[in-house]
Amino acid sequence: MIALITGASKGIGRAIAHSFAGEGLDLILVSRTMRDLAIVKQEIKNLQPGITIHIYSADISKREGIQSLMTYLRTLKIEIDILVNNAGVFIQGEIKSSSSGNLEKMMDTNMYSAYYLTREILPTLLAKKSGSIFNICSIASLDAYPNGSDYCISKFALYGFSKCLREELKDSGIKVISVLPGATWSDSWSGVELPEERIMQASDIATMMAATLRLSPSAVVEEIVLRPQLGDL
């Protein structure tokens, strides 16, 4: 089986790549920065030499980026079994004062990338009548929080997309899993001074996702909500 993970060069996406490799999956890792992807590929290869890993750089917030990724997959003659819509960007801000363009950037990266990439991958999964699609939403998909309005709007939208997709695909054999993490160590938190144990590790999210792959075809984990043991910040 082969999994395509977007935003796989860092943070949660990188942890998912490691966890899925641990389950024996081959991988296609995508982000904009080839150098970072090459590092992750090497890390995994050192641990799991038998895994096949392709890396591809594309800006999937743009329709052209998604098209170039699809062309690459066709060249490789690869059929995806698992899609992880993880790439995302976080910009603080309130509706009344956020800079023009911030909402659009987050909608393009956090929501439309998942929507349009899923539409491209779906025909393959529908033909196979199997597969899984993970959408990395957030606890910001559930509640508004101070100074995070535009991000919340994009993540509410992604969660809405994920729920609609689940409903549409119930009869198709394809599992749709919404993942809603709270605060998790990644570059998004760089410079924030907090004790290590105050927020989650990226591997916590990845471990839960990998566990869902072990279920029988008749069961799906529809939602995974994870929060720091000490609660939201």
Ligand X SMILES: NC(=O)c1ccc[n+]([C@@H]2O[C@H](COP(=O)([O-])OP(=O)(O)OC[C@H]3O[C@@H](n4cnc5c(N)ncnc54)[C@H](OP(=O)(O)O)[C@@H]3O)[C@@H](O)[C@H]2O)c1
Interacting residues toward ligand X by CB under 6 A:
6-13, 31-33, 36, 59-61, 86-90, 109-110, 136, 138, 181, 183-184, 186-188
Nearest CB to ligand X, comparing residues 37 and 51? 37
Alpha carbon distances (Å) from 70 to 17, 30, 116, 119, 206: 20, 12, 11, 11, 25
Please work out, in degrees rounded to the nearest 5, the angle formed at the alpha carbon of residue 53 by the alpha carbons of 50 and 59.
170
Residue whose structure tokens are 């994870």: 226
Nearest CB to ligand X, comparing residues 172 and 207? 207
Considering the complex, what minimum distance in angstroms separates the CB of residue 23 from ligand X? 20
Nearest CB to ligand X, comparing residues 132 and 162? 162
Considering the complex, what minimum distance in angstroms separates the CB of residue 148 from ligand X? 11
Q: Indicate the residue type of 203.
A: S
Say whether 151 is catalytic.
Answer: yes
Cβ within 8 Å of residue 233, ≥6 positions away: 183, 194, 198, 199
Nearest CB to ligand X, comparing residues 131 and 181? 181
Helix (H) or strand (E) holding 107: none
* Catalytic annotation, pick one of 56, 112, 116, 151: 151
In the three-class reduction of DSSP (H, G, I as helix; E, B as strand; rest coil), residue 229 is classed as coil
Considering the complex, what minimum distance in angstroms separates the CB of residue 100 from ligand X? 19
Considering the complex, what minimum distance in angstroms separates the CB of residue 117 from ligand X? 10
DSSP class of residue 98 equals P
Catalytic residues, by residue number, are 151
